[in-house]
Amino acid sequence: MSTEVDMSKDRKDVAKFDDSTSVAEGRTDGITRAMPASLAILSEEDRRKVNAKLVHKLDYLILPIIGILYILNYIDRQNLASAKLQGITEDLNMTTQQFATAVSILFVGYLPFQIPSNLIITKIARPGMYICGAVTIWGTISAATATVQTYGQLLAVRCILGIAEAVFFPGAIYYLSAWYTKTELGKRFAALYIAQQVGNAFGGLLAAGILKMDGIHGIAGWRWLFIVEGSVTVFVGVICAFLMPEYPHNCRMLTQVERDLAVWRIESEAGAAEGTENESTLAGFKKALSDPKLLLLIFCNMLSQAQGSIANYFPTLIKSLGFNSTISLLLTAPPYVLAAVVYYCLMYYSDRKNTVYVPILVLITVACCMYIIPMSTTNVGARYFSMMILPFASVGPQLLLYKTINLHLARPVSKRAAASALVNAIGGTSNIWASYLYYEAPHFYAAFGTLMGCGFLFMATITFYRWLITRHNKYMDSGDPALVARAIKGGVTEEMLDLNWRYEMY
């Protein structure tokens, strides 16, 4: 039997598995590529069955591990906000501005180290072990926060914690894109953000319980918070290191046929698989920097991260409603649970309709409306309603941005890894300056007014981005060598052109 197959038929086979999603961005219909012999001998029906079995296996092997680690990542990053309600500012003699510095300095270490970390992860054979190693390190550092005695010591520990945590998020985004096809990535990114919201919700509930240990063995409740949560992170990180799969081509948990399919699925969509590209790290980094779309996406993420900064102060925002510390921590959970549900529905819709532009605009519009409520009223019901909506409305666009990055800046793989890290690292700088906006409770005029301005600017920028990629699609469709050359200069590779690749979702 020939090992050449009609890609228009087999791309549909791969696309059908996931809740009948539409064929996604980067289509390759009508292109013929070589299929591994182990797959070519199978019938269409058998390949569909193997594909469905593979994806279910990946979901059971990968998503729970990544999700649990991300929950711990967010708990360890946000527990300082919970500690504030239990007296850390008084014990360390910190002012409001100094506490804001303690929050923001984590990002001083966190942001710049994402870029080299994501370049490193593309060149190692065991990215899972690399990620889990970072988990155990940041868990140890987080637990060590319990020993600080001065404001200066807290700053030092938080900065080092940021360096250790820099590995995880961009690494996890890259890792998922090495396993899942374009039609599948949306809901998997949603799963990652759902885990984030579970971490936020569970973190508040867990903190409420742990802070009740205040005074046991003469240790303050906020110190117990760091000890318990950091220790759990170390334990889970060690366990996950033995369970987390690596790349599709060297995963020992898959059969040979499943490995062949896992590699071919990715290769058939973008022209090369993770295990076969030889593009150097530096070359991929340069290609990312030379892509004009990257600058726009970085700016969009800066504006989106600014809006998402409410997570750093969410317990404080809830406490401004007039509740005590314990009730405030408990009330942080429902908004994040709602956000988790909305994220799944959002990404299901995005995958199903192959769109991100309209959902981004809708979320930003809703968020801007919610910013008005706390600035204009002190009514507890109205203000808590806005707090219920803001976590998903302000953070939701980030899911769609990361989906855009991994699909519009897909190849070479080193470029995708660099782009993901650059967008997250530079975009995340907003968390530094935004930390100084949350004052003058209960209205927080500076914070919500600034976030509203970011929302309007975000809508304008993403609309310009839509215009740009639509124009590049016209260049590729024109057949004019001069116009096609412009598309190549804009970040499209020759191989992607050969595959009839196009920008979609906008």
Cα–Cα distance, 253 to 167 (Å, whole number) = 24
How many H helices and E strands in the chain?
A: 25, 2
DSSP string, 43-64: -HHHHHHHHHHHHHHHHHHTHH
DSSP string, 240-274: HHTT----GGG-TTS-HHHHHHHHHHHHHHHSS-T
- The full set of domains in the chain, from first to last, is 53-498 (1.20.1250.20)
Cα–Cα distance, 443 to 372 (Å, whole number) = 10
> In this structure, are residues 403 and 186 in contact, taking their beta carbons and an 8 Å threshold?
yes
Tokens of 117: 């970390």
> In this structure, are residues 164 and 138 in contact, taking their beta carbons and an 8 Å threshold?
yes
**Burial annotation 77-96 (CB, 10 A radius, 16+ → b, else e):** bbbbbbbbbbebbeebebee
Tokens of 23: 């064929």
Tokens of 130: 């690399």
Q: Is the bond preceding 442 in cis, omega lying within 30 degrees of 0?
A: yes
Cα–Cα distance, 228 to 209 (Å, whole number) = 11
Cα–Cα distance, 473 to 477 (Å, whole number) = 6
> In this structure, are residues 24 and 8 in contact, taking their beta carbons and an 8 Å threshold?
no
Cα–Cα distance, 272 to 73 (Å, whole number) = 32
Closest CA to 399 of 176, 204, 246: 176
Tokens of 204: 């508040």
Helix ranges (H only) for 62-126 are: 63-84, 88-91, 96-110, 114-121
What is the mean pLDDT, run by run of 10 residues, along the chain of 506 residues?
A: 41 42 36 68 86 89 89 83 85 90 86 82 83 94 94 94 88 83 75 76 79 87 92 94 84 85 76 50 71 87 90 84 84 87 86 90 96 94 94 89 77 69 80 85 91 96 94 89 85 76 85
Cα–Cα distance, 66 to 86 (Å, whole number) = 30
Q: Which residues contact 321 (CB under 8 A, 6 or more apart)?
A: 328, 331, 380, 383, 384, 387, 442
Tokens of 320: 């401004």
Cα–Cα distance, 419 to 416 (Å, whole number) = 5
Tokens of 143: 């637990």
Q: Which residues contact 284 (CB under 8 A, 6 or more apart)?
A: 119, 122, 412, 413, 414, 415, 416, 417, 418
Q: Which residues contact 259 (CB under 8 A, 6 or more apart)?
A: 248, 249, 250, 251
**Residue 442 CB burial class (10 angstroms; 0-12, 13-18, ≥19):** middle
* Beta strands, E only, 263-357: none
Closest CA to 108 of 431, 450, 424, 395: 431
Cα–Cα distance, 401 to 294 (Å, whole number) = 11
Cα angle 48, 50, 54 (rounded to 5 degrees) comes to 115
**Residue 150 CB burial class (10 angstroms; 0-12, 13-18, ≥19):** exposed
> Tokens 């060590």 — which residue?
144
> In this structure, are residues 221 and 215 in contact, taking their beta carbons and an 8 Å threshold?
yes
Contacts 24+ apart (CB under 8 A), 221-224: 221/86, 221/87, 222/82, 222/83, 222/86, 222/87, 222/88, 222/91, 223/146, 223/147, 224/146
Beta bridge partners of 299: none
DSSP string, 451-488: HHHHHHHHHHHHHHHHHHHHHHHHHHHH--HHHHHHHH
Closest CA to 348 of 4, 20, 15: 20
